[in-house]
Amino acid sequence: MSEPKYALTINVRHYCLLLLVVALLLIAIHTGLYLYNYQVEELPWLLLQLFDLDEENNIPTWFSSFLLLNNAFVLYLITTAKATERRYYWGMMAAGFFILAVDEVAGLHESFNTAIDSNWAIFGGILVLLVVLAFIPFLLSLPRRLALLFILSGAGFVSGAIIVELLSEDMDSDSLAYMMAVMVEEGLEMLGALLFLFVNLRTMASQQLVPVHISVSYSRSD
């Protein structure tokens, strides 16, 4: 008796649109709460912490980590596909997104920042530059449109994670200006990660890069 097969089917457009709506909603809630808090009257601390894009272990943090894990999973599927060329590049990206997802929840870069005198974003910028240089052959091997979308999504994510972080370094953390900078920073990170996810899922679905079929099977003991 053949084992029953179950396929996990994902509508890329609908799934990514749902994630986009959630991301925009979280950005809007953060912005609205802090505008009200600074312009009208002070809100309860718990409410602010629950939706603060700059805090750890709250709703936006877990959503960002989930988004990054999505990228890590999709990149892992591409890495393990037999038709994939330069799979070590895809594997490095999968590992990188997994580390970013863990860091989003654990706050590893904040711990690193407390142990050094300079802002962690400086070291992050150097690391990003080295990674970009190492990935130039990989980008050149991709179709031009796909490579441009990769660059665009990466630029969005990095500009939020590093550039805005550096620009807001001297701001008062208890000010509306800082909270708006946080909104831009985290918003760019979310949208950059989401664009990267959409591009890879869309490419997989159309088999322009590699055909991937996600399935689960089991056999009953009786």
How many domains does the chain contain in total? 1
pLDDT band at 210 (very low <50, low <70, confident <90, very high): very low
Given a cut of 90, is residue 59 above it in pLDDT?
yes
pLDDT at 222: 43
Residue 222 inside a domain? The answer is no
Calculate mean pLDDT across residues 60-76.
93
Q: Is residue 191 part of a domain?
A: yes
Backbone angles phi, psi at 106, to 5 degrees: -80, -20
Domain hosting residue 129, numbered range: 5-217
d(CA 2, CA 60): 44
H-only helix segments in the chain: 12-39, 45-51, 59-80, 87-106, 108-115, 120-141, 144-158, 164-167, 176-206
Residue 208 pLDDT exceeds 90: no
**210 versus 105: which is more confidently predicted?**
105
Q: Is 192 within the bounds of a domain?
A: yes
Residue 62 has pLDDT above 80, yes or no: yes
pLDDT tens, 116-130?
556 666 777 788 888
Whether this prediction's pTM lies above 0.75 is answered by yes
Kindly tell me if the per-residue pLDDT of 27 is higher than 50: yes
